[in-house]
Amino acid sequence: MTDRSVDKASFTREYFASLKAVVDRIDVGQVTAFMDELERAYQDDRQVFIIGNGGSAATASHMATDLGKTVFGRPPSSRRRRFRVTSLTDNVALMTAIANDLGYEHVFTEQLVILARPGDLLVAVSGSGNSPNVVGAVEWARGTGLRTAGLLGFDGGAALPLLDAPLLVPDFNYGFVEDVHMVLDHLVTAYFSRQFQAPGSATR
């Protein structure tokens, strides 16, 4: 029997090299525009909502945790006003009720109807940018006066032109796209952690 096993070391090096090539294609201007939207939401004390499906749902939860807690570290920094941020992927009871009664394409929009106000920020996380529930939520947000930003992949899909601050990972490999979305989450977290700890950054 022929041994067709893949060499693990070679595969690992190839994966890392390919992932680095994807990171190198990121538009830094889009990264800064994405951070600008989050910074504006914080300064204006607006609510930030994060949405996504599957692996992107996990990224949405992770990002909400990072912005809500990790950015501010331990006391005495805890006196600082927090990001008002929540992931709409985490209320399983409400999500399943909406999906059962109205359809899965409404699971994010209907939560926004309950919680969102004009001026809030919706962050969409999507590999393809074409998930109906994500696109529908972004359309509703724009029509209601929310700001919109997003972590996208592939060619950005239907969501791309709807976002005020799209941040595109320009690759069609889902694994690489989701990997880099997490890198971008941690980049943003690291930026705000440093920004809020900088000399002259007053407690608010």
Task: Tell me which of 5-9, 158-162, 180-184 is least confident.
Answer: 5-9
Pick the CATH number of 28-196 from 3.30.70.890, 3.40.50.10490, 3.40.50.300, 2.130.10.10: 3.40.50.10490
1-4: long-range contacts (C-beta < 8 A, 24 or more apart)?
A: none
| pLDDT score at 81 | 86
| pLDDT score at 149 | 98
Per-residue pLDDT of 11-34, as tens digits, reads 999 999 999 999 999 999 999 999
- Say if residue 202's pLDDT is above 60: no
**Measured between alpha carbons, how far is residue 43 from residues 50, 86, 116, 119 in Å?**
18, 17, 17, 12
| pLDDT score at 200 | 54
